Amino acid sequence: MNIELDDFIKENRKEFDTERPSGGLWDKIEQELDKQQQKKPKKRRLYWGMSVAASLLILMGLVFLNRGTARRSKPNLAEINPVAAQKQMRFASMIAEKRDSLANYASDNPELYEKFNNDLQVLNQNYEKLRKELPGSPNQQLIVKAMVRNLEIQMHLLSQQLSIISSVTEYNKENQI
């Protein structure tokens, strides 16, 4: 059937081509295409602008949410218990000094230093657990006191360790002579 139709079209081609579109038809088509092309970018710009605005709103919400969480996760010890906060600061600085002193002896007695350091790490881990529990605790006063007590124990332990390591160092020097 397609062959018959093709043959018919070929034989009668001249009769089909009698009418031609007007010259202004292509101009009208071009104008319509231009109008359609001008409308599309506006929709895209609007959609893109709304997407950017929504993204900014979500980002701002996350930033404010994160700030609020950070404030709640790190309560001010001075507000909970000012005396304990002062003790905590004092103990923390003394502990840092004593740790530095202990580190100076590390080269003379590395095994002993490692044992001492492991004991301190256990106490420090307990302190960090208490610090993490503080924001959600119903009795923050008790947690703060436990934190200060932990630092006090760390300080006493460091003092004992320094005394022991000093004695061991002196003993080693005496026996070398």
Tens of pLDDT, residue by residue over 23-74, are 777 778 888 877 776 655 556 667 777 777 777 778 787 877 776 555 555 6
Query: Distance (Å, rounded) from C-alpha 107 to C-alpha 165?
Result: 11
Give per-residue burial for 131-167: e unless 16+ CB within 10 Å, then b.
Answer: beebeebeebeebbbbbbebbbebbebbeebbeebee
pLDDT of residue 165: 80
Q: Among candidates 80, 100, 137, which has minimal Cα distance to 88?
A: 80
pLDDT of residue 142: 87
pTM score, two decimals? 0.53
152-158 contacts at long range (C-beta below 8 A, 24 or more positions apart): 152/87, 152/91, 153/123, 154/91, 154/95, 154/120, 154/123, 154/124, 154/127, 155/91, 155/94, 155/95, 155/98, 157/119, 157/120, 157/123, 158/95, 158/98, 158/99, 158/102, 158/120
Spans in the chain with pLDDT lower than 50: none
pLDDT of residue 100: 82
